[in-house]
Amino acid sequence: MTTTHLRVVLAIGAWLMAPLASAQTTRTEQIEAEKAAKAAEVRPEAREKGDLIITKIEQWLKPQPPAVRLTFGTFRPGAGFALGAASEVPVGERGLWTASAAASVNKFKMVETAVDIPPLSTDRVRLRGVARWEDAPDLRFFGVGLDSNPADEVGYGLRTSEAGGSVSARIVGRWLSVGGGVTDFRVTARDGTGSVPTVGVTASQAWWHSTAFAAFDSRHSPGYTTGGALYRVDFHDYADRDGASSFTRTEIDLRQFVPVLHDNWVIALQARADLSRAADGQSIPFFLLPSIGGRDTLPGFENYRFTDNNSLLLRSELRWTPGPLVDMALFLDQGTVGPTARGLDLRDLKRSWGIGARFHGPSFTALRLELVRSAEGWRYNIAQNVSF
């Protein structure tokens, strides 16, 4: 083949391949253009409205320190709606100093400050120093025993202060913890400010309050959970400085949360016993005796409706989660009191039942509404915390 013939063959080949090359170039350009168009259309996935609301509420209620936030306070039952302010300031790398003050519609008041510090390089051990003052001017007392009469209702006021320190440690993973502490606990009892007759008591007493506890806690969060359990035992020793009212109390709190039906339903159970015993020849002031009744124990009865040396509480709820912000619940609560632990008769339980709605985030409960029925009538409850 001559050079001339070779040039002719190459020219014919190039002519024949040109459409194919052109088609391939056009297809490649088309694919790249489609990719560019899709990239231009891609946007971050829109968050659900409920998720945005939860995030905003959590940022509002639990901002990252240092911060000042709203607080509902931690009051005895009977305070009513409360509101206040709390500040949180970091201490060192992992410590935290908090200070809060709040007041309620029923003129309850509280001030509290606390410092939590991990003394070691790990967060497994924490030291806590706390000082707290509370004024509860309108509390209720119906007498001692399960047969107390609602007509015997009287009122009194209580002012308490407590200051001291404690230590706690997680010894197995994050679930098992133990701890204890000592505080100076002072109480002043006086006539109540409510509309019912008063007890007619004026007394000031002081105790050294020693505590010890052990707890297994696998809940998602103390403020809201859909699974896990809490098994906790607390021991309290109140040593009266005047030697007239020394006593001990053991608190046993068992809670179990069982998710069913694709975690959309939860069976929640609680059994709690408070067992008190006075020192030989001494007595326990009525305002420090265990009691049941009210929104966090027997919600179908008045606050502090039944009081005695010992109490037993059995609670059960069927919770349904129709949406990310709200749970509905059917519940049955039962309880009794008695002068001795053996006197807690399971055949004679006071009962209440009802329906409720709880507005919450993934780790907190912001509002709880309940309509409840008991042998003493209908009641409604409004709370700013989880039932248990």
**Residue pLDDT, tens place only, 168-206:** 999 877 899 999 999 999 999 999 998 899 988 888 999
Q: In angstroms, how far is CA 303 from the centroid of its own chain?
A: 20
Q: What is the pTM of this model?
A: 0.82
Give residue-wise pLDDT tens across range 71-81: 989 999 999 99
CA atoms within 13 A on the CB side of 260: 11
Q: CA–CA distance from 299 to each of 78, 84, 296, 352 (Å)?
A: 12, 25, 6, 7
> Taking a C-beta distance cutoff of 8 angstroms, is the pair 25, 19 a contact?
no
Residue 93: the pLDDT is: 83
Answer for the pair 289, 144: CB distance below 8 angstroms, yes or no.
yes
Express each pLDDT in 203-224 by its tens digit. 899 999 999 999 999 999 999 9
Question: What does the alpha-carbon distance between residue 321 and residue 264 come to, in Å, rounded to a whole number?
Answer: 5
Cα–Cα nearest to 75, from 12, 124, 15, 132: 132
Q: What is the pLDDT of residues 253-305, one digit of tens each?
A: 999 999 998 878 999 999 999 999 999 999 999 999 999 999 899 999 999 99
Query: CA-CA distance, 116 to 180, in Å (whole number)?
Result: 14
Fold of 129-383: Porin (2.40.160)
Domains of the chain by residue range: 1-42, 129-383
